[in-house]
Amino acid sequence: MSVARNPGTGAAAAAPAAPPAGAATEDYFLASGLRGTLEEYLSAGEIRDVHRACRFGAEAHTGQTRRSGEPYIHHPIEVARTMAGLRLDKVTLMAGLLHDVLEDTHITQQKLRAEFGDEVARVVEGVSKLQGLDFVSVEVEQAENFQKMMLAVAMDLRVILVKIADRLHNMRTLEHMPPHRQKAIARETLEIYAPLALRLGMGDVRLEFEDLAFRTLHPRRCAALAKGVRERAGNRLELMEKAVARIRFHLHESGVPCQVQGRRKHLYSIYRKMKEKHLPFSEVLDIFAVRLVVDSVEDCYRALGLMHNFYKPVPGRFKDYIAIPKANGYQSLHTILFGPQGALMETQIRTREMDEVAQTGVAAYALYKINDSRSFAGAVKTQEWLQSLFNFQRGAGDSLEFMEHLKTDLIPDDIYVFTPNGEIMALPKKATALDFAFAVHTDLGLSASGVRINRRLGMLSAVLQSGQTVEIIPSENARPNPGWLSFAVTAKARSAIRHYLKDIRDDEAVKLGKHLLNEALRNYQTSLGEIGKDWFDRILGALDIAGRDALFREIGLGNQIPQLIAARLADSDRRAERPVEIARSAVPRGARGLVVAYAKCCYPIPGDTVIGIMNPGKGLVVHRDGCPNAATAARKRKDSVIPLQWTGDGAPDDEYSAAIRAVTHHQRGVLASIAAKVAGMGSNIENISFEEHGTESAAITFVISVKSLAQLEKIMRGIVSAVEGTRVNRIGFREETGASH
């Protein structure tokens, strides 16, 4: 018997067995449990319409089978079953049952519209346009596909709800695909569909996506983690059951009736925590969680006080998402408690309505609209977010930029700041004061000249922290400049800035560009008037730009970075002696031909997040983001910092230095074993140093050559597998960084 997951809960549930060949579609429609679920919230007439769509789809797919061998219509029915578990409306259910007919059968758009109307046909057509999109293709094509997908979603939210349900059933039956396709689909699900489900507030769907993808991508890690959780659960399950019973009793005794649910945390959530915080499984203490579902918001806070009375809270681990909801509408109180025998216990407290929204997100809006027409703030926010895609689309430089900033929006790790009037504004992590200005109003952002943070003057590039009060200082003379794009984070801010810069008249762009370049040259104690004509013409030729005014215009429009041009113009003496070096891998737009050096303090390699520091005499020095030396240089000269990204167009033989530290027991031949493993995996050892760690172990630091972050991680895993009892870390900052293996 195949196993499916119960939509909306993620719990395992036996899927109905496939009927014998020739059995009526109606039999499977009933056996699947779809009709029974529909009867819980749809009218008889609506169920008849859904059933009619099912029969139509079955006839259209006659003779077609899935890789599992069952009739093809079983897939659309399972998609509809997932959507029924989310309580989606009749139109979305019908579109789910028909979502493949345009792509895989003889049915035309006109035929579909005639049978089911414009609304159903429009959603099916939107889903069909997404069927051929491949998100594991090359970077540019991937970005273009992602752009097409999100613009289709912005037209009608139901398109993505059908697509998510379709992907969920495909993930549940992934074992029927070839192994290489399993990996590709799982990776696509983890990188695209799980964050999208999170952004739409569909928490349970997102968790199931992550666990299914984790099981496919890392089966051994998943199995080992599952075993560890089972073993720990065996020791603590009885304690947790007693804790849940105690909580339930005391809350009822205190007049706060509630449902108390104890659960284990999902495997991928545990794995992600281990990876992000570099923890072994033995140090992950909060693998159990408790959820309290109460009747009202007042009961949420009463229950919180009682819980803090029963068990001591962990300082600094309380979050109030009821007073300040997440961007996707999620509301709950979160606290971490010291549970029985000191075990950490993650606790969530929410109302029934909040619980419904937490599980199904924007899908819950359909149920509320059917029941009593209540508005759901999360659905409103999501619609606003989708609408903003159109605005950003107009201002985006290309599809890669669209995808980069959309991914920022898809994984909202929010901060919360206050306006001077005490209103709360939610912004993504690392948002700046400039992003805040545009979030308040586009006109305020365009006229921003300064900021007060907690009543103190600050810079528009200042990264904001939760709890700060932010006041933007506008000026009639203030105007956006291309430099703003280097620290604006949100899609709204970047879109507005680009839109403004594109609309600048040519003469204004030339004037602005000339001013910005002169300002950048001041850092090198020179000016445009002091740059020789021959050298200036040589730089223009290297940039393939015809004339000074054309260069100024490009700078004014944001297509060239003034700091980089200034560095090249000011470096004429040294550059005149030998050909210009070209860095092929970490070059921002406008840096072609610039001398690029890779910092030895942090050893950046392709795959790292990097920044550049302009250094007179050295050119552009590339550092890993977070390097203390880069931070020190940035504090001394803030205008010297250039945001970079790996372009991926380097030569296949390009190699970069990276530093790793292996801590191992004293044993004969350990150095030879590690050296052989490094060489066998296509790397060279550039330097070795030793450090004693007591009498039993030693730390060996290697500087090795690699081509990418992926190769480095592979080598680290290889060393661990080759030498028993060895821990390997990547180093490069003043303190160790990177995952332990």
Tens digit of each residue's pLDDT (9 = 90 or more) over 118-153: 989 988 888 887 765 555 554 555 555 555 666 655
The reply to whether 43 and 174 lie within a common domain is yes
**For the ranges 154-158, 589-593, 682-686, the one whose mean pLDDT is highest:** 682-686
Residue 295 and residue 211 share a domain: no
Q: What span, in angstroms and rounded, lies between the C-alpha atoms of 686 and 702?
A: 7
DSSP assignments along 280-324, one per residue: -GGG----EEEEEEESSHHHHHHHHHHHHHHSPBPTT--EETTTS
DSSP character for 595? -
Catalytic site includes residue 353: no
Measure the CA–CA gap between 615 and 143, rounded to whole angstroms: 33
Same domain, 171 and 240: no
Residues 210 and 224 reside in one and the same domain: no
Residue pLDDT, tens place only, 440-471: 998 999 999 889 999 888 889 899 988 889 99
Helix (H, G, I), strand (E, B), or coil: what is residue 393? helix
Query: Which of 349, 371, 393 delimits the end of a domain?
Result: 371
Residue 641, SS3?
A: strand
| 595 part of a folded domain | no
Instruction: Report d(CA 118, CA 116) in Å as an integer.
Output: 7
Q: How many domains does the chain have?
A: 4
Domain assignment present for residue 496? The answer is yes
Shared domain check, 432 and 318: no
- Is 645 inside a domain boundary? no
Asked, for residue 112, whether it belongs to a domain, the answer is yes
Residue 397 lies in a domain: no
pLDDT score recorded for residue 564: 77
Place of tokens 């840096």: 591
Residue after which a domain boundary falls, among 172, 196, 215: 215
Weakest-pLDDT range from 38-47, 101-110, 142-151, 501-510:
142-151
Q: Three-class SS of residue 428? A: strand
Q: Catalytic annotation on 104?
A: yes
Residues 239 and 175 occupy one common structural domain: no
The string of pLDDT tens digits covering residues 539-550 is: 888 778 888 888
326: domain CATH number? 3.30.460.10
pLDDT at 674: 84
- Would the pLDDT of 478 be above 90? no
Instruction: Name the residue type at position 401.
Output: E
Instruction: Please tell me which residue in 104, 320, 414, 549 is annotated as part of the active site.
Output: 104
Spatial contact of 291 and 348, defined as CB atoms under 8 Å apart = yes
Choose the weakest-confidence range: 70-79, 404-413, 731-740: 731-740
On whether both 352 and 463 belong to a single domain, the answer is no
Residues 255 and 201 in one domain: no
pTM attached to this predicted model: 0.55
3-state secondary structure 531-570: CCHHHHHHHHHHHCCCCHHHHHHHHHCCCCCHHHHHHHHH
- Average pLDDT estimate for 531-539: 86
Catalytic, out of 46, 103, 519, 625: 103
Sheet containing 685-693: order of strands? 685-693, 697-706, 656-665, 727-731
Is 456 inside a domain boundary?
yes
The count of residues in the chain is 741
* Alpha-carbon distance values, 138 to 142, 153, 193, 406 (Å): 6, 22, 18, 18
Q: How remote is the C-alpha of 618 from its chain's centroid?
A: 35
| CATH code of the domain covering residue 475 | 3.10.20.30
Residue 718 maps to a domain: yes
Domain holding 110: CATH number? 1.10.3210.10
Across 2-22, average pLDDT = 37
The C-alpha atoms of residue 482 and residue 490 are separated, in whole angstroms, by 15
**Would you say 185 and 133 are in contact if contact means Cβ atoms under 8 Å apart?**
no
Distance between CA atoms of 292 and 304, rounded to whole angstroms?
Answer: 10
Residues 100 and 121 placed together within one structural domain of the fold = yes
Same domain, 206 and 231: no
Task: Specify whether 179 is located in the same domain as 237.
Answer: no
Task: Give pLDDT, residue 271.
Answer: 86
* Domain shared by 229 and 202, yes or no: no
Please tell me the predicted confidence (pLDDT) of residue 2: 32
Q: Looking at the domain assignment, is residue 145 inside a domain?
A: yes
Residue pair 132/100 in contact (Cβ under 8 Å)? The answer is no
Q: What is the CATH number of the domain that holds 672?
A: 3.30.70.260
Give the residue numbers spanning the domain of 320.
220-371
Which two tokens mark 426? 């939610």
Residue where a domain stops, chosen among 371, 403, 424: 371
Mean pLDDT computed over 188-209:
84
- Averaged pLDDT, 302-325: 87
